[in-house]
Amino acid sequence: MAFIQMQDSVPNSSEKWILVFLSKSRILHSFFEKNIEEFQNVSIIEQVIFITAKEQLEQWFTKGTHNIIISFDSNYETINELVALINSLNSLDERCLIYKILWYTETDQLLKGDNILLVKTDDIRCLNNTSDQSHLVYFNWLIQKLNASYRQSFEVGHKPKKTSSDSGPIAVGVKKSELSEANQVAWNMIEQQKIEIEQRNKELELAFKKSSIQHIKLQKIFYQNEMQRKELEQALIEIQKKNEELATQNEEISTQRDQIELQNEEIQSQRDFAILQQEEIRDNLLYASRIQQALLPPKYLMEQLLPEHFVLNRPKDIVSGDFYWISQNRFKTIVAVADCTGHGISGAMMSMLGTAFLNEIINRNDITNSAQILDQLRERIIISLHQENENNSLEFSRDGMDISLCIIDIVDNTLEFSGANNPLYLVRDQELMELKADKIPIGIHEFCNEPYATQKLELKGKDEIYLFSDGFADQF
Q: What is the DSSP string of 18-66?
A: EEEEE---HHHHHHHHHHHHHHHTSTTEEEEEEES-HHHHHHHHHH-SS
**Could you tell me the pTM of the whole model?**
0.47
Assigned architecture for domain 3-157: 3-Layer(aba) Sandwich (3.40)
Residue among 412, 332, 426 at smallest CA distance from 373: 332
Residue among 5, 13, 4, 3 at smallest CA distance from 157: 13
Q: How far apart are CA 104 and CA 83, in angstroms?
A: 13
> Residue 367 carries which DSSP code?
-
Same fold, 3-157 and 296-474: no
Q: Can you say how many angstroms the Cα of residue 168 is from the centroid of all Cα atoms in its chain?
A: 79
Domain boundaries, the chain: 3-157, 200-295, 296-474
For residue 168, what are the contacts with CB-CB under 8 A and spacing of at least 6? Answer: 197, 201
Residue among 121, 98, 143 at smallest CA distance from 1: 121
Q: How far apart are CA 181 and CA 71, in angstroms?
A: 69
| Three-state SS at 434 | strand
Could you give phi then psi for residue 221, rounded to 5 degrees? -65, -40
Assigned architecture for domain 296-474: 4-Layer Sandwich (3.60)
List the chain pLDDT tens, one digit each, 476 residues: 222 223 333 334 345 666 676 666 666 666 666 666 655 555 556 666 767 666 666 666 665 555 666 665 555 556 666 666 666 666 665 544 444 455 544 455 555 555 555 555 444 454 544 455 555 566 666 656 655 554 554 444 333 344 333 333 323 333 444 445 545 666 777 788 888 888 888 888 888 888 888 888 898 899 999 999 999 999 999 999 999 999 999 999 999 999 999 999 999 999 999 999 989 888 888 888 888 888 889 999 989 998 889 988 888 778 888 899 999 988 999 999 999 887 777 788 888 899 999 999 999 999 999 999 999 999 999 888 888 766 555 455 678 899 999 999 999 999 999 999 999 999 998 899 999 999 999 988 887 889 999 999 999 888 999 999 887 776 65
